[in-house]
Amino acid sequence: MLYIFIMFRKFLFTIFTYLSIFLFSSFTTSKNHINRIKPGDIAPEIALPNISNHVISLSSLKGNYIVLDFWASWCAACRKENQNLVRVYNKYKDKKLINSKTIIFYSVSLDTDPEIWQKAIKNDKLSWEYHVSSLKKWKCPAADSYGISALPAGFLIGPDGVIITDDIRSSNLESELEKILFK
């Protein structure tokens, strides 16, 4: 009888474990699916404070090509990617694209400490104007609305506010910008 009871407990535990895994994976998949921003989607609005605590909205930059970059000072891959973004920014910052549009970099930090965030901007020579953060790490509303689950992450947004390319990195960012320049 004890043997049957132990086997029944193991059976219930196994069923419960598989059911839990199934329900959890269904929940996380559906959440990521809902929030997954992809090319062709309208870029969700972002309105976060900059270093001076002035709110800068993404929509205020509409009419230009926008490189939307999600990063954090504590993210080693982001800091390495920043070197490449600086190179691309310096190459294209003064170039007029098709229809006299410009390229604007808009960086969203998932930092929590404003001093560390500002120091990283300075140390990495991120000389563009638009740096914003909610200072809430992964609870940043912008990261949630774009479905960001890993850093660095980036998007290229067209003048019409539509996502051109998602998961942009400096390597493919440059080729995307070249396509725009030579359309």
Q: What string of pLDDT tens digits covers the 183 residues of the chain? A: 766 757 666 655 555 554 445 444 444 433 343 457 899 999 999 999 999 999 999 999 999 999 999 999 999 999 999 999 999 999 988 877 767 678 999 999 999 999 999 999 999 999 999 999 999 999 999 999 999 999 999 999 999 999 999 878 867 888 888 887 666
What per-residue confidence (pLDDT) applies to 183? 61
Beta carbons within 10 angstroms of residue 169's beta carbon: 16
What per-residue confidence (pLDDT) applies to 75? 97
What per-residue confidence (pLDDT) applies to 158? 93
Q: Where are the alpha helices (DSSP H) in 36-165?
A: 76-92, 114-123, 141-145
Both ends of the chain: CA-CA distance in Å?
78
